[in-house]
Amino acid sequence: MADALEEVATEKQTQSITLKDVLAVVKIGIVNSNLITTFTGLWLALHFTGKGFLEHLHVVFFALFGSALVIAGSCSLNNFIDRDIDHLMERTKERPTVTGKMEPKRVLWLGVFLVAIGTLSLLMTTVTAAVIGLIGVVIYVFLYTMWSKRNNTLNTVIGSISGAVPPLIGWMAVDSSFHMVPIILFLLMFLWQPPHFLALAMKRCEEYRAAGIPMLPVVHGFAITKRQIVIWVACLLPLPFYLFSLGTPFLVIATLLNIGWLALGLAGFKMKDDLKWAKWMFIYSLNYLTILFVTMVIVTID
């Protein structure tokens, strides 16, 4: 199958590559969403260390630019590796690596180039930020994409580790010393991802089944997946209280978001339409993350 895809790619090399194709390969939506969490980590580090934002614009630039490239490069490598199964799923069958708009080798070298330049950019801030960025790449590309995604249901958990790295990069670009805040940001991102992606896996269950990807709902069914989702959401409840230094407004908003998500999750045990519930949970998770991290920035504006 891989050889056949290579032939298709070769035949279509003459097609012009557009900006849209490149953005699809680097998964620009994932890059943008992760930049929100990276910026929040960076912003909070400036806030808690008493450093001025304008005085450290160079750090802000290199941290965000480097993070964006590292994430984009990782996604490009993910596209290169997954081109043999992407054609089996509705949401990925139009990727340039599947349609042949971009030659696989170009996607591979694009990923390597972006990761390399992104790492150099992060080195302009701190060595720690660059190392954490590379750790995220290794986990996402090798432990998640190449191994766990195709072999066991823990793929979501393993992938969540790399997905929780961006706010750490943002913080460490400013301050490499130990602090509780970046740890909590990491845990928030880590715990948020399983319910987010498991809800998506329920929506796309048959696509994952066709592609042979052992997502939890494919292997163990919806009932167990729903219980897992609720447990992961419940684990988020205490985390905002470790960020009490952000003030009461943040604690109230974060707690209400957590309770609302948990209530929606528990409601799923009574709903007959599992796919409709999964769609609601997925949409809620997207709004949850955006509101939570934007709130952290707003409440710390001096």
Q: What is the DSSP letter of 199?
A: H
CB 118 within 8 A of CB 129: no
Taking the C-alpha atoms of residue 247 and residue 236, their distance in angstroms, rounded to an integer, is 18
Taking the C-alpha atoms of residue 96 and residue 135, their distance in angstroms, rounded to an integer, is 27
Instruction: Indicate the Cα dihedral angle 290, 233, 30, 168, nearest 10°.
Output: 80
Digit-coded pLDDT (tens) for 237-258: 999 999 999 999 999 999 999 9
Predicted confidence pLDDT, tens digits, the chain (302 residues): 445 445 544 444 445 788 899 999 999 999 999 999 999 999 999 999 999 999 999 999 999 999 999 999 999 999 999 999 998 888 888 899 999 899 999 999 999 999 999 999 999 999 999 999 999 999 999 999 999 999 999 999 999 999 999 999 999 999 998 899 999 999 999 999 999 999 999 999 999 999 999 999 999 999 999 999 999 999 999 999 999 999 999 999 999 999 999 999 999 999 999 999 999 999 999 999 999 999 999 999 98
Residue spans of the domains in the chain: they are: 1-177, 179-302
Q: What CATH homologous superfamily does 1-177 map to? A: UbiA prenyltransferase (1.10.357.140)
Q: What is the DSSP letter of 126?
A: -
Could you tell me which residues come within 8 angstroms of residue 123 by beta carbon, excluding any fewer than 6 positions away?
A: 66, 129, 130
Digit-coded pLDDT (tens) for 211-244: 999 999 999 999 999 999 999 999 999 999 999 9
Quickly count: other Cβ atoms within 10 Å of residue 83's Cβ: 23
Closest by CA position to 170, among listed 44, 72, 26: 44
Q: Which two tokens stand for residue 46?
A: 């400036």
